[in-house]
Amino acid sequence: MIYAILLIIFGLLAIPSLIIAKKPDAKELYDKVAPFMGIIGIVAILNGLWDLWIAITNLGALSAGFRGIFLWFFFLAMALVQLALGFIMAYGLISKHLLSKNETAKAKGEATLAKLVPLQGKLGIAAIALGIIYIILLVVW
């Protein structure tokens, strides 16, 4: 259940403009969380790597019928969304500490970030939807 809640939180943090437009009081909360966005992004990346590991180690689920196939693709989708959002949120921290000495890596990182940032809102909504679906699956299945 905690993974689902974290996924929803990552999604909410990825779409501040949509949230603030609906609830202006939320801007104050976003301003308090903003300094920690890099660390939150690292947590998202670690969660995404964990879900990716689950998907990779459970490739056998693809031969287990509809339920296995659905769950495998679901964990893969969760992993990819978390990795993308985590990279967007943590890029400043990653760039500062890991990429500052390597110009080639920094250029590739900036190119990847430039491709992901336009998708941030959609990724945030996808993260919220996947988190809600995950909670439903935990209750129903």
Whether the Cβ atoms of residue 124 and residue 15 lie closer than 8 Å to each other = yes
How confident is the model over 59-92, as pLDDT tens digits? 888 888 888 899 899 999 999 999 999 998 888 8
* Residue 130 reports pLDDT greater than 90: yes
* Residue 22 reports pLDDT greater than 80: no
Q: How many domains does the chain fold into? A: 1
- The per-residue pLDDT of the chain, averaged, comes to 86
Q: For residue 125, what are the contacts with CB-CB under 8 A and spacing of at least 6?
A: 11, 15
Instruction: Give me the pLDDT at residue 114, please.
Output: 86
What does the DSSP 8-state code read for residue 118?
Answer: G
Alpha-carbon distance of 42 to 5, in angstroms, equals: 16
* Residue 115 reports pLDDT greater than 90: no
pTM assigned to the model: 0.82
Instruction: Give me the pLDDT at residue 17, please.
Output: 67
Whether the Cβ atoms of residue 15 and residue 120 lie closer than 8 Å to each other = yes
Alpha-carbon distance of 78 to 126, in angstroms, equals: 9
Range of the domain at 12: 2-140
Q: Which of 12-21, 32-41, 132-141 is the least confident region?
A: 12-21
* Residue 52 reports pLDDT greater than 90: yes
Total residues found in the chain within this entry: 141
